[in-house]
């Protein structure tokens, strides 16, 4: 049973464009929704996170949009750059992640120069 569904599996975006990755969750008890960025040979690194009491959070070029009624959240990368090329994972958890994160399967993002 996959509790967090992520799409697309892979994405190619031109430099300067907007990259959009979507996730849907099933468990309404989830209260913490982070996004992680992973470069080859490295562990995932926290990019940005949101809690369900807000509908949007922005940090620099990265924005999370959250739709509680639809049980969906998405990552938007504005002005995408070649250095953003990486694998992105959405995740969800209870208690802020103390019991572990449930991850989506990942999106391989390529930004073409």
Partner 1 sequence: DVKVTQSSRYLVKRTGEKVFLECVQDMDHENMFWYRQDPGLGLRLIYFSYDVKMKEKGDIPEGYSVSREKKERFSLILESASTNQTSMYLCASRPQGDGGYTFGSGTRLTVV
**What is the contact surface with partner 1 in residues (CB under 8 A)?**
6, 9, 34, 36, 41-46, 49, 89, 96-106
CB 38 to partner 1: min, Å: 8
Which of 92, 102, 59, 50 lies closest to 77 in space, CA to CA?
59
User: How many residues in the chain?
Assistant: 113
User: At its nearest, how many Å lie between partner 1 and the CB of residue 14?
Assistant: 26
Report the alpha-carbon distance of residue 112 to residue 14 in Å, rounded.
5
Give 24-73 as a DSSP string.
Answer: EE--TT--BEEEEEE-TTS--EEEEEE-TT-SEEEETTEEEEEETTTTEE
Residue (61 or 105) nearer to partner 1, CB = 105
Q: Which is nearer to partner 1, 18 or 46 (CB)?
A: 46
Q: How far is the CB of 95 from partner 1 (least distance, A)?
A: 9
User: With respect to partner 1, which residue has the nearer C-beta, 9 or 69?
Assistant: 9
């Amino acid at each position: 049973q996959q509790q967090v569904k992520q799409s697309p599996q892979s994405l190619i975006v031109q430099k300067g464009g907007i990259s959009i990755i979507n996730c849907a969750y099933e468990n309404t008890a989830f209260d913490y929704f982070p996004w992680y960025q992973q470069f080859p040979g490295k562990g995932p690194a926290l990019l940005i996170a949101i809690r369900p009491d807000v509908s949007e959070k922005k940090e620099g070029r990265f924005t999370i949009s959250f739709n509680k009624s639809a049980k969906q959240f998405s990552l938007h990368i504005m002005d995408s750059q070649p250095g953003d090329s990486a694998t992105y994972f959405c995740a969800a958890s209870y208690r802020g992640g103390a019991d572990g994160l449930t991850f989506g399967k990942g999106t391989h993002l390529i930004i073409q120069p």
